[in-house]
Amino acid sequence: MSNNKHLIAPSILAADFANLSSDIKMVNDSEADWFHIDIMDGVFVPNISFGFPVMQAIAKHAVKPLDVHLMIVDPDRYLKVCKDSGAANITVHYEACPHLHRTLSAIKELGCRAGVALNPHTPVQLLKDVIQDIDLVCIMSVNPGFGGQKFIQNTYTKIKELRQLAAGVNDNLIIEVDGGVTLDNAAQLVKAGADALVAGSFVFSALSPINTIKELKMVDYPPQMA
Ligand code: DX5
Ligand code: ZN
Protein backbone atom coordinates (compact mmCIF):
# COMPACT_ATOMS: atom_id res chain seq x y z
CA MET A 1 0.00 0.00 0.00
CA SER A 2 3.01 2.28 0.35
CA ASN A 3 2.35 4.47 -2.71
CA ASN A 4 -1.00 5.68 -1.45
CA LYS A 5 -1.75 8.37 1.09
CA HIS A 6 -1.96 6.92 4.57
CA LEU A 7 -5.32 6.29 6.19
CA ILE A 8 -6.60 7.81 9.43
CA ALA A 9 -8.84 5.80 11.76
CA PRO A 10 -10.12 7.74 14.79
CA SER A 11 -10.78 5.39 17.70
CA ILE A 12 -14.32 5.67 19.03
CA LEU A 13 -13.04 4.42 22.41
CA ALA A 14 -12.08 8.03 23.13
CA ALA A 15 -15.38 9.52 21.94
CA ASP A 16 -18.06 10.90 24.27
CA PHE A 17 -20.29 7.85 24.73
CA ALA A 18 -23.16 10.06 25.86
CA ASN A 19 -22.97 12.01 22.61
CA LEU A 20 -21.93 9.33 20.18
CA SER A 21 -24.01 10.56 17.27
CA SER A 22 -22.33 13.97 17.23
CA ASP A 23 -18.86 12.40 17.40
CA ILE A 24 -19.81 10.01 14.60
CA LYS A 25 -21.02 12.94 12.52
CA MET A 26 -17.71 14.72 13.14
CA VAL A 27 -15.79 11.69 11.82
CA ASN A 28 -18.19 11.40 8.86
CA ASP A 29 -17.53 15.06 8.00
CA SER A 30 -13.78 14.80 8.52
CA GLU A 31 -10.93 13.55 6.35
CA ALA A 32 -10.81 10.32 8.33
CA ASP A 33 -10.95 7.10 6.33
CA TRP A 34 -12.25 4.55 8.83
CA PHE A 35 -13.92 4.32 12.22
CA HIS A 36 -11.72 2.29 14.58
CA ILE A 37 -13.90 0.20 16.89
CA ASP A 38 -12.21 -1.31 19.97
CA ILE A 39 -14.05 -4.28 21.43
CA MET A 40 -12.66 -5.60 24.75
CA ASP A 41 -13.83 -8.51 26.87
CA GLY A 42 -12.14 -7.97 30.24
CA VAL A 43 -10.31 -11.29 29.75
CA PHE A 44 -7.85 -10.84 26.89
CA VAL A 45 -7.29 -7.30 28.13
CA PRO A 46 -7.93 -5.88 31.61
CA ASN A 47 -10.75 -3.62 30.49
CA ILE A 48 -14.26 -3.82 29.01
CA SER A 49 -15.24 -1.29 26.36
CA PHE A 50 -18.51 -1.97 24.53
CA GLY A 51 -20.01 -4.75 22.50
CA PHE A 52 -21.90 -5.46 19.31
CA PRO A 53 -25.18 -3.65 20.17
CA VAL A 54 -23.23 -0.40 20.51
CA MET A 55 -21.30 -1.16 17.34
CA GLN A 56 -24.59 -1.68 15.49
CA ALA A 57 -25.75 1.72 16.67
CA ILE A 58 -22.51 3.27 15.42
CA ALA A 59 -22.87 1.49 12.08
CA LYS A 60 -26.30 3.05 11.54
CA HIS A 61 -24.77 6.53 11.53
CA ALA A 62 -21.29 5.90 10.13
CA VAL A 63 -20.74 6.53 6.43
CA LYS A 64 -17.17 5.21 6.46
CA PRO A 65 -15.94 1.63 6.92
CA LEU A 66 -15.76 0.17 10.42
CA ASP A 67 -12.28 -1.10 11.29
CA VAL A 68 -12.95 -3.48 14.18
CA HIS A 69 -10.21 -4.43 16.63
CA LEU A 70 -11.25 -7.48 18.65
CA MET A 71 -9.37 -7.59 21.96
CA ILE A 72 -11.14 -10.76 23.03
CA VAL A 73 -10.34 -14.42 23.65
CA ASP A 74 -11.74 -16.97 21.21
CA PRO A 75 -12.73 -14.39 18.58
CA ASP A 76 -13.98 -17.12 16.20
CA ARG A 77 -17.22 -17.21 18.22
CA TYR A 78 -17.99 -13.60 17.32
CA LEU A 79 -16.86 -13.19 13.70
CA LYS A 80 -20.33 -13.58 12.21
CA VAL A 81 -22.01 -11.17 14.61
CA CYS A 82 -19.13 -8.76 14.06
CA LYS A 83 -19.70 -8.83 10.29
CA ASP A 84 -23.47 -8.54 10.77
CA SER A 85 -22.91 -5.56 13.06
CA GLY A 86 -21.26 -3.66 10.21
CA ALA A 87 -17.56 -4.55 10.18
CA ALA A 88 -15.52 -3.95 7.03
CA ASN A 89 -12.23 -5.00 8.63
CA ILE A 90 -12.01 -7.57 11.41
CA THR A 91 -8.72 -7.69 13.30
CA VAL A 92 -8.03 -10.47 15.77
CA HIS A 93 -5.05 -10.77 18.10
CA TYR A 94 -2.25 -13.17 17.22
CA GLU A 95 -2.01 -13.98 20.93
CA ALA A 96 -5.70 -15.01 21.08
CA CYS A 97 -5.72 -17.33 18.05
CA PRO A 98 -4.23 -20.83 18.26
CA HIS A 99 -5.57 -21.56 14.75
CA LEU A 100 -4.85 -18.23 13.12
CA HIS A 101 -4.93 -19.49 9.53
CA ARG A 102 -8.42 -20.87 10.06
CA THR A 103 -9.58 -17.67 11.71
CA LEU A 104 -8.26 -15.54 8.84
CA SER A 105 -10.03 -17.78 6.31
CA ALA A 106 -13.29 -17.45 8.25
CA ILE A 107 -13.04 -13.64 8.24
CA LYS A 108 -12.44 -13.60 4.49
CA GLU A 109 -15.34 -15.96 3.87
CA LEU A 110 -17.56 -13.40 5.55
CA GLY A 111 -16.37 -10.85 3.00
CA CYS A 112 -14.31 -8.74 5.43
CA ARG A 113 -10.70 -7.68 5.37
CA ALA A 114 -8.74 -10.00 7.64
CA GLY A 115 -6.46 -8.33 10.16
CA VAL A 116 -4.02 -9.54 12.80
CA ALA A 117 -2.94 -7.40 15.74
CA LEU A 118 0.40 -7.92 17.45
CA ASN A 119 1.02 -7.03 21.07
CA PRO A 120 4.20 -5.03 21.71
CA HIS A 121 6.12 -8.16 22.77
CA THR A 122 5.10 -10.26 19.75
CA PRO A 123 7.72 -10.32 16.96
CA VAL A 124 6.47 -9.69 13.42
CA GLN A 125 8.47 -12.74 12.26
CA LEU A 126 5.81 -14.98 13.83
CA LEU A 127 3.56 -14.01 10.90
CA LYS A 128 5.97 -15.40 8.30
CA ASP A 129 3.89 -18.46 7.36
CA VAL A 130 0.59 -16.58 7.07
CA ILE A 131 1.74 -13.22 5.75
CA GLN A 132 0.22 -13.92 2.31
CA ASP A 133 -3.18 -14.59 3.94
CA ILE A 134 -3.44 -11.30 5.85
CA ASP A 135 -5.00 -8.08 4.56
CA LEU A 136 -3.98 -5.90 7.50
CA VAL A 137 -1.52 -6.11 10.38
CA CYS A 138 -2.18 -3.87 13.36
CA ILE A 139 1.05 -3.20 15.23
CA MET A 140 0.15 -2.30 18.79
CA SER A 141 2.26 0.66 19.86
CA VAL A 142 0.85 0.43 23.42
CA ASN A 143 -0.32 -2.54 25.46
CA PRO A 144 -3.94 -3.04 24.39
CA GLY A 145 -6.75 -2.25 26.80
CA PHE A 146 -6.71 1.48 27.33
CA GLY A 147 -6.55 4.72 25.41
CA GLY A 148 -4.21 7.54 26.29
CA GLN A 149 -1.04 5.51 26.87
CA LYS A 150 2.53 6.34 25.93
CA PHE A 151 3.76 5.32 22.48
CA ILE A 152 6.38 2.51 22.42
CA GLN A 153 9.40 3.52 20.32
CA ASN A 154 10.23 -0.02 19.10
CA THR A 155 7.18 0.29 16.83
CA TYR A 156 9.27 1.92 14.07
CA THR A 157 11.55 -1.11 13.89
CA LYS A 158 8.57 -3.46 13.78
CA ILE A 159 6.98 -1.57 10.88
CA LYS A 160 10.18 -1.85 8.85
CA GLU A 161 10.63 -5.54 9.68
CA LEU A 162 7.04 -6.26 8.71
CA ARG A 163 7.38 -4.46 5.38
CA GLN A 164 10.46 -6.57 4.65
CA LEU A 165 8.65 -9.75 5.66
CA ALA A 166 5.77 -8.93 3.30
CA ALA A 167 7.93 -7.72 0.38
CA GLY A 168 7.29 -9.73 -2.77
CA VAL A 169 4.76 -11.95 -0.96
CA ASN A 170 2.05 -9.49 0.03
CA ASP A 171 2.78 -6.04 -1.32
CA ASN A 172 -0.80 -4.92 -0.69
CA LEU A 173 -0.54 -5.55 3.05
CA ILE A 174 -1.95 -2.66 5.08
CA ILE A 175 0.25 -1.85 8.07
CA GLU A 176 -1.75 -0.14 10.80
CA VAL A 177 -0.34 1.39 13.99
CA ASP A 178 -2.53 1.62 17.08
CA GLY A 179 -1.83 3.44 20.33
CA GLY A 180 -0.25 6.71 21.38
CA VAL A 181 -0.35 8.20 17.88
CA THR A 182 0.02 11.99 17.84
CA LEU A 183 1.40 14.66 15.55
CA ASP A 184 4.76 14.07 17.25
CA ASN A 185 5.15 10.59 15.76
CA ALA A 186 2.71 10.41 12.80
CA ALA A 187 5.16 11.61 10.12
CA GLN A 188 7.86 9.21 11.31
CA LEU A 189 5.39 6.33 11.35
CA VAL A 190 4.39 7.04 7.76
CA LYS A 191 8.05 7.33 6.84
CA ALA A 192 8.74 3.94 8.42
CA GLY A 193 5.96 2.42 6.28
CA ALA A 194 2.68 2.72 8.17
CA ASP A 195 -0.40 2.81 5.92
CA ALA A 196 -3.05 3.46 8.58
CA LEU A 197 -2.85 5.41 11.83
CA VAL A 198 -5.33 4.86 14.64
CA ALA A 199 -5.72 7.82 16.99
CA GLY A 200 -8.09 8.03 19.94
CA SER A 201 -7.33 10.46 22.74
CA PHE A 202 -5.21 12.73 20.56
CA VAL A 203 -8.18 13.33 18.26
CA PHE A 204 -11.05 13.44 20.75
CA SER A 205 -9.30 15.53 23.39
CA ALA A 206 -8.25 18.13 20.81
CA LEU A 207 -9.90 21.54 20.78
CA SER A 208 -10.90 20.83 17.20
CA PRO A 209 -11.01 17.08 16.52
CA ILE A 210 -11.89 17.63 12.86
CA ASN A 211 -8.80 19.80 12.34
CA THR A 212 -6.62 17.34 14.21
CA ILE A 213 -7.79 14.56 11.88
CA LYS A 214 -6.90 16.79 8.94
CA GLU A 215 -3.45 17.46 10.39
CA LEU A 216 -2.84 13.74 10.90
CA LYS A 217 -3.93 13.13 7.33
CA MET A 218 -1.61 15.81 5.96
CA VAL A 219 1.61 14.57 7.56
CA ASP A 220 3.91 13.25 4.95
CA TYR A 221 7.43 12.10 4.49
CA PRO A 222 9.17 13.35 2.53
CA PRO A 223 7.05 16.52 2.49
CA GLN A 224 5.26 17.01 -0.82
CA MET A 225 6.73 19.77 -3.00
CA ALA A 226 4.29 22.68 -3.31
C1 DX5 B 1 -6.02 0.34 22.85
C2 DX5 B 1 -6.88 0.48 21.63
C3 DX5 B 1 -6.61 1.69 20.85
C4 DX5 B 1 -6.91 2.96 21.60
C5 DX5 B 1 -5.97 4.01 21.10
O6 DX5 B 1 -6.23 -0.90 23.41
O7 DX5 B 1 -6.69 -0.62 20.77
O8 DX5 B 1 -7.30 1.68 19.61
O9 DX5 B 1 -8.23 3.40 21.43
O10 DX5 B 1 -6.08 5.12 21.92
P11 DX5 B 1 -4.98 6.25 21.97
O12 DX5 B 1 -4.87 6.81 20.58
O13 DX5 B 1 -5.54 7.20 22.95
O14 DX5 B 1 -3.69 5.61 22.41
ZN1 ZN C 1 -7.54 -0.49 18.71
Extended beta strands in the chain, E state = 7-10, 35-40, 66-71, 87-93, 113-118, 136-140, 174-178, 196-199
Sketch out the chain's domains with CATH numbers: 7-218 (3.20.20.70)
Mean pLDDT calculated for residue range 72-80: 98
The alpha carbon of 178 and the centre of ligand 2 are apart by a number of angstroms equal to 6
Give yes or no: 16 in active site.
no
Q: What is the average pLDDT score of the chain?
A: 96
C-alpha radius of gyration, the chain, whole number: 16
The ligand that comes nearest to the alpha carbon of residue 91 is 2
Choosing from 33, 38, 67, 195, which is the catalytic residue? Answer: 38
Does the structure show a pLDDT above 80 at 221? Answer: no
Nearest atom within ligand 1 for CA of residue 144: 6
In terms of pTM, does the model score above 0.95? yes
pLDDT band at 141 (very low <50, low <70, confident <90, very high): very high
Task: State the pLDDT at residue 9.
Answer: 99
What is the spatial distance between Cα 211 and Cα 206, in angstroms, rounded to a whole number? 9
Task: State the pLDDT at residue 4.
Answer: 67
pLDDT digits (tens, 9 = 90+) for 45-73: 999 999 999 999 999 999 999 999 999 99
Residue ranges of the binding site = 11, 36, 38, 69, 145-148, 178-180, 200-201
